[in-house]
Amino acid sequence: MTTTTLLRFATAGSVDDGKSTLVGRLLHDSKSVLTDQLEAVRRVSADRGQEAPDLALLTDGLRAEREQGITIDVAYRYFATARRRFILADTPGHVQYTRNMVTGASTADLAVVLVDARNGVIEQTRRHAAVAALLRVPHVVLAVNKMDLVDYRETVFAKIAEEFTAYASELGILDVTAIPISALAGDNVVEPSAHMDWYGGPTVLEHLETVPVTDEFTAAHARFPVQYVIRPRSAAHPDYRGYAGQIASGVLRVGEAVTVLPSGRTSTIEGIDALGESVDTAWAPQSVTVRLKDDIDISRGDLIAPTALAPTTTQDVVATVCHVADRPLTVGQRVLLKHTTRTVKAIVKEIPSRLTLDDLSQHPAPGRLVANDIGRVVVRTAEPLALDAYAASRRTGSFLLIDPADGTTLTAGMAGDAFTEHEWTA
Amino acid sequence: MESEAVHIFREVAGEFEKPVILFSGGKDSIVMLHLALKAFAPAPVPFTLLHVDTGHNFPEVLAYRDRAVARHGLRLHVASVQEYIDAGKLRERPDGVRNPLQTVPLTEAIQQLKFDAVFGGGRRDEEKARAKERVFSLRDEFSQWDPRRQRPELWQLYNGRHAPGEHVRVFPLSNWTELDVWQYIAREDIELPQIYFAHEREVFQRNGMWLTAGEWGGPKDTEPVHKRLVRYRTVGDMSCTGAVDSDATTLDTVIAEIAVSRLTERGATRADDKLSEAAMEDRKREGYF
């Protein structure tokens, strides 16, 4: 809406690492908390006999969360500074909620991984880093929290930062920024710390405001999944036939030769209507309506791509998945696969391996995946899909597996290889 | 964000049999309708509208509602709280607040008219229980929301699968803030009911809010009436929607006012959210938006 850029980011941390406090501190110190919200927090904190307002109460929105003092579910927060707008996916760090971090990370440009300075890099930290790498989150911030409890010592921070950065680069994460903070005391969250002269880097907020948002969507090949066919058949528009959709990646141009998949029919883009305005070019993630020169049979679920750069179609999908449902995914199971705007019948052919996120070791042929498991699957689909590798496009390389019986979302899938290739030469 | 909202409208049009837009004549639902018009142009919006009429609506807003319906050639269903009270199916609350009474007429209208997708203008920035809400939110046959059993929402892949009798609540403005809504209204030059702009109005004070006198039980003898320059930040039932002091008569001055406001929209003007710490969560569980 405004000219400032938008950064979508996710937070991750173990229970009691102080994640809710960090988020509360970010919102509070960036003056994104309004008076009535703060009043409510003060009132509840005082009712519980706490001296200072408990900033975690700003984010734990559900009864069960407040009762147990933990974050159960992903919550979305909105705040803005003069430089940028932010959408924060606040994800729980509890082991059993790995799927929630996957959810938050799926749309994030940046992930903040929180570590308790007293404990250093633990299993859960490695798990969070691996999820960020798996979901191809472009930037990772390591926030070493509770520095006040280790006397703000540089050596403590340096050791943790070094260990984490080495592990992250093994995973293929390109950009890691480590920041020593105290969420409780407010050191280096929004305001620079007076206790850590040895640290010369940005505060968490400064980094969030300045990290470049790479436009991954426009850099990739053009992909246009057809959502809906617009045919008014009215007196004013007797012959209008437009294909409505959101450009998943790349740029579309009037006059371009395109192929429609999976049918393989070809045509030329005659016009692009960008929500009421006729344009010559449009790019991801714009929602537009495309008109083609030839009257060919196109419906929801088809993919329009430049003929020169069209993806190949396949009925055998090899992917890394995160299982998000409570009931398991098993070999031989019949499922629905939702990829962009297309939902097709599918069967789970193989589960070649399950991944242990802690040490990235693989367990061959587990037979099934249970909630929060990450593994490799091979899925055979009833119809061909125009699928890209997830590494090439987060939008056209991702899919869901759905239970056909009751519609439950079972599994989040990422086509192609996960991490860097050498990790997966099983 | 406009593209994201349009994407959501088109997903619903592509995947559901009988969607409906909840339309109250308030700014969020007006923006929703505007986005729906753009999403399907030059074809008409392929959805009907549903208004839950509490019986205590601002007349300016009802007039706006009817004008909008006529102008765009749409079909409007009305679920009336007053009819439920008259038929003895709902009881007036002692405090006269009718907002919580909307849930039954709303959910019964959804079941009777067999809507399978119901668009709401809810935004996650409004309230912390709403911050946990999905863009596609499955409701069971009793229209209940269970925050512990929500589907994870990954990438832009919305799962709209549901069994007969269940429905999906859809929130295309999930990621918008109050300021985004106003800036979009200004950018698109969207007409609003006049009560959103500063005007002189006879009001009285109750629970720290300026309320408009009406047939719903106000003012009491102890509540003197003042003539003040006010405007509304939200438009809901008159019994629980308060006005704020303001001299903002144009979109630009309204935006400037909101940008510096230290109060949330709901905190400033909605009595029903103050009933308890989890008031919104509890009402949502029952089927409220």
Candidates A6, A40, A48, A7; CA nearest to A24 is A40
What is the per-residue pLDDT across B91-142, written as a single tens digit (0 to 9) for each? 887 777 777 788 888 888 888 899 999 999 888 887 777 777 889 988 887 7
| Ramachandran sector of residue A255 (left: φ over 0; alpha: ψ -120 to 50; beta: rest) | left
Candidates B215, B222, B214, B219; CA nearest to B204 is B219
Candidates A157, A150, A147, A153; CA nearest to A182 is A147
Shortest CB distance from A63 goes to which of B4, B131, B278? B278
**Per the CB < 8 Å rule, is A407 touching B44?**
no
ipTM above 0.85, yes or no: yes
In the block, residue with structure tokens 């039954």: B104
Counts of helices then strands in chain A (DSSP H, E): 8, 25
- The DSSP line for B49-92 is EEEEE-S---HHHHHHHHHHHHHTT--EEEEEHHHHHHTTSS--
Please, what's the largest Cα pairwise distance for chain A? 76
- Order the strands of the B19-22 sheet from edge to edge: B76-80, B48-53, B19-22, B117-119, B167-170, B136-139
How many percent of chain B have pLDDT more than 90?
33
- Site from B154, B183, B281 to mutate, A interface, most A CB atoms within 10 angstroms: B154
What is the per-residue pLDDT across A14-58, written as a single tens digit (0 to 9) for each? 666 677 788 888 887 776 666 666 777 777 777 777 776 666 666
Distance, in Å, from the CA atom of B12 to the CA atom of B119, rounded to the nearest integer, reads 9
Give the pTM: 0.88
**A1 with B183: CB under 8 angstroms?**
yes
pLDDT bracket for residue A73 (50, 70, 90)? low
- As to burial, measured by CB atoms within 10 angstroms (0-12 exposed, 13-18 middle, 19+ buried), residue B192 is buried
- Order the strands of the A139-145 sheet from edge to edge: A75-80, A84-90, A5-13, A110-116, A139-145, A175-180
Higher confidence at residue A379 or residue B130? A379
What is the per-residue pLDDT across A262-276, written as a single tens digit (0 to 9) for each? 999 999 999 999 998
- As to burial, measured by CB atoms within 10 angstroms (0-12 exposed, 13-18 middle, 19+ buried), residue A149 is middle
Report chain B residues whose CB lies below 8 A from the CB of A63.
278, 281
Distance, in Å, from the CA atom of A216 to the CA atom of A390, rounded to the nearest integer, reads 12
Question: CA torsion A357→A363→A365→A371, rounded to 10°?
Answer: -30
- The DSSP line for B127-161 is -TTGGG--SEEEE-TT----GGGPPP-BTTB----
**A323 with A238: CB under 8 angstroms?**
no
Residues shown for chain A? 426
pLDDT bracket for residue B264 (50, 70, 90)? low
Mean pLDDT of chain B: 83
Tokens of A209: 């405001």
Among chain B residues, the shortest Cα distance to A41 is held by B277
**β-sheet bridge partners, residue B241:** B270
Query: What is the pLDDT, as a whole number, of residue A323?
Result: 94
- Chain A nearest CA to B32, separation (Å): 14
Distance, in Å, from the CA atom of A131 to the CA atom of A102, rounded to the nearest integer, reads 6
What is the per-residue pLDDT across A314-331, written as a single tens digit (0 to 9) for each? 999 999 999 999 899 999
Tokens of A111: 């992930």
- Site from A2, A28, A76, A277 to mutate, B interface, most B CB atoms within 10 angstroms: A76
Lowest mean pLDDT among A12-21, B149-158, B176-185: A12-21
pLDDT bracket for residue B287 (50, 70, 90)? low
